[in-house]
Amino acid sequence: MKITLFIPCFIDQYYPGAGIGMVRILEKLGHAVEYPESQTCCGQPAFNSGYWDEARSVAETMLDAFRDAEVVVGVSGSCGAMLKVFYPELFHGHPREAEAKALAAKTHEFSSFLVNVLGVGDLGVSYPAKATFHDGCHGLREMGIKREPRELLKHVRGLELVEMKEAETCCGFGGTFSVKFPEISTAMGEVKCASILETGAELVISNDSSCLMQIQGILDRQGKKIRSMHLAEVLANF
Amino acid sequence: MGTESIQFHRDADRLTHDLRHRGLIQKALGGYYVKRDEQKAKYTDWQEARTSAAAAKYEAVNHLDKYLLELTEKLEARGTKVFWAADGAEAAEYISSVARNAGVKRIIKSKTMTGEEIHLGPALEKAGLEVVESDLGEFIVQLREEPPYHIVFPSMHLTRGEIDETFQKKLGSPHADTPEELTMIARGVMRQKYCQADMGMSGANFAVAETGHISITENEGNARLSTTLPKVLVSIVGIEKVIPKLEDLAVLLPMLATAGAGQNMTCYNTLLGGPRQPGETDGPTEFHVVLLDNKRTSLLADAEQRDALHCIRCGACLNVCPIFKNIGGHSYGTTYQGPIGSVITPHLRGLQSWKHLSFSSSLCGACHEACPVRIDLHHHLLQNRRNAIAEKSVWWEKPIFAGFAWFMRRPALYRLAAPMLRLGAPVLHAIRGKFFDPARMWTGTRDLPPAPPQSFKEYWRKRNG
Ligand code: SF4
């Protein structure tokens, strides 16, 4: 299968490791990957801030970039949800509505693509660590991804997965919310970090790098020694 | 920023730093989660139950004209007087006149958020009437001259010690240690008030069109006393409370109990069908139902967000909301707190003054997931944001997002972002958190990750030679 990569700007600029991990895993499984270089941002910051016209103009760049793709696999639950759930709404009544719907239909989040489309569970990798998993809200509630990352992590040799209390509670990132309401956002993050610390894990894994930026940013500020990694990086440890 | 927004930022920021408050709310809700999950597990299919509860409300809200008339007809047939109030002022005016005509001096009130919404208590007090809350939580916040903290648990932010203190100060009661003792003190005061009151006042959880019943659900028995002892009774009912059939209660009552308080059923479920009928020996001799609009019809006119009128005010969305749990109910400055409050307050009280509530959300969607009637709460927050900006954009944001869009539409230019980020990173790191740090809204409380040695785009180019 020819897989087209969706690497949102955030991953591109700050967390390329997650994208690189995804490339390595998909190629290891024998798939051809392509990456349209004209992709930039999904438009979510403008969309979430109420500037839908601006968001739509950016989103059109993405419609162009992925027009010929067969399947689009993204490494972020949040930006994936933007394409999959919010593009149809953003383009509702717009001349390119059909294109937006078509892109939504062929877009997948990475862990869900591995488990539900490719039928993969065991990637044959090992990563010895005591870890806990944080569910990014967009992946979890907009796309219903909960079982898939755990299914993949279950097969990682040496990885002990400890569930944290309220794993499904938001880390407080929320995109522009995190800088518009930094105090509230940070308080939410502190609650999340307390649940992580309680597990005694040395590593926190998520399928959303934006959550990890929030979590790691707070843990670092608190001087805690816990590391964070994107799911794709853990699974690419071969 | 409007005054409402400034107050919100101030109160929310203060409470997020209050670790005692955070612990208190976490503890209170911790018990709720356990009980709620136990009860949910008893449903054959909770998701199906949500769907049928939503369907009942959908039917009602989308045919309000029909069901409100049916309700009115059925109520009037048994001698109840129905008054249609366009807003709070009309409602208060009508109720005052009912009180005047019946020579009422004292009112005993059971819990009504609709009454809170239109500040009915203070309005009636202004008209020279004594108004006493009979719901324990409401009674406590009334004594403290505070608004309810939570639509279902008005005094959940208070410890036993604080309640004791309030009672000692306001009622002159002796020091009490246990919840039982405190309840007995309140009961002592209230029993007297029940007997003295010449008017009872209630809200409604549901209003059954088919049979003309006002349905009230409660745990303390106070609503039952407030609605049956005094000679005059007034129920204030938001027009969205109407439901088509009596049997709709079969799903709505248990779901309200489970989602709202982690109960199987609420202890007392009362159906009020009218005033005392010929040959009956008790019950009020006069029964008035005030049907309140107060901008609900403008929400009804919004096809996208109409489902917000499905709300059964169970409070489940507040209980799971990480924003609510950190900023507390009072910070909202609204009658309805939490996600549902953030969605409907802009409709009820003005979009521009209350839009900040819709922006103050990480859009995590826990509210929607918890809502027993499937209101699309977090998406409505997005729509409120869109509507607010379309109506009036923020002067400094507009150029930022225009610039953002301009930049992101130019992939060649975007490619320069990574080297620029690497160049700027050490500078940003050096000034982090300082006044002139452009990222200080982030770095004030959190670290930024270091810029990686290469972006994904650079990796891809290198890899493909
Ligand atoms: S919006 Fe839903 S969850 Fe929130 S109070 Fe209303 S019915 Fe309950």
The per-residue pLDDT of chain B, averaged, comes to: 95
| Closest C-alpha to ligand 1, atom 4 | B317
Same domain? For A131 and A213 the reply is yes
By Cβ distance, the residue of A15, A52, A141 closest to B369 is: A141
Segment A194-216, tens digit of pLDDT: 999 999 999 999 999 999 999 99
Query: Is the predicted pLDDT of residue B386 greater than 90, yes or no?
Result: yes
**Chain-centre distance of CA B239, in angstroms?**
16
The DSSP symbol for A138 reads I
Parse chain B into domains and list their residue ranges: 43-294, 316-391, 397-464
Give the end-to-end CA distance of chain B in Å, rounded to a whole number: 52
- Write down which residue in A89, A116, A143 finishes a domain: A116
CA distance B384 to chain A (A): 8
Task: Tell me the whole-structure pTM to 2 decimals.
Answer: 0.96
Fold of B43-294: Rossmann fold (3.40.50)
Measure A62 CA to ligand 1 centroid, in angstroms: 36
Is the pLDDT at A184 greater than 80, yes or no? yes
* pLDDT at B436 exceeding the cut of 80: no
Residues A100 and A78 both lie in one domain: yes
Give the closest of B22, B446, B456 to A19, CB-based.
Answer: B456
pLDDT in tens, B139-167: 999 999 999 999 999 999 999 999 999 99
Say how many C-beta atoms besides its own lie within 10 A of residue B391's C-beta.
11
pLDDT band at B419 (very low <50, low <70, confident <90, very high): confident
Judge if A105 and A149 occupy the same domain: no
Q: What is the DSSP track for B217-256? A: EESSSHHHHHHHSSSEEEEEEEGGGEES-GGGHHHHHHHH
Please report the ipTM that was assigned to this predicted complex.
Answer: 0.96
Contact yes or no for A152/A121 (Cβ under 8 A): yes
Total structural domains within chain A: 2
Between B2 and B380, whose confidence is greater?
A: B380
Spatial distance between the Cα atoms of A32 and A36, rounded to a whole number of angstroms: 13
Query: Residue A217 sits in a domain of what CATH number?
Result: 3.40.50.11810
Residues A72 and A128 in one domain: no
Do A13 and A107 sit in the same domain of this protein? yes
Task: Choose one of A116, A137, A156: the last residue of a domain.
Answer: A116
- H helical segments located in B63-159: 64-77, 88-101, 113-117, 120-126, 136-143
pLDDT at A193: 98
Asked if A54 and B404 come within 8 Å (Cβ–Cβ), the reply is: yes
Q: Average pLDDT for residues A13-21, to the nearest whole number?
A: 95
A191:B322 CB<8 A: yes
Together in a domain, A140 and A99: no
Nearest residue in chain B measured CA to CA from A175? B362
Residue among B29, B61, B152, B314 to mutate when testing ligand 1 (max atoms within 8 A of CB) = B314
| Residues in chain A within 8 Å Cβ distance of B405 | 43, 46, 51, 54-55, 57-58
- Is B344 touching ligand 1 by the criterion CB < 6 Å? no
- Containing structural domain, residue A6: 2-116
Return the structure tokens found at B48: 């199906």
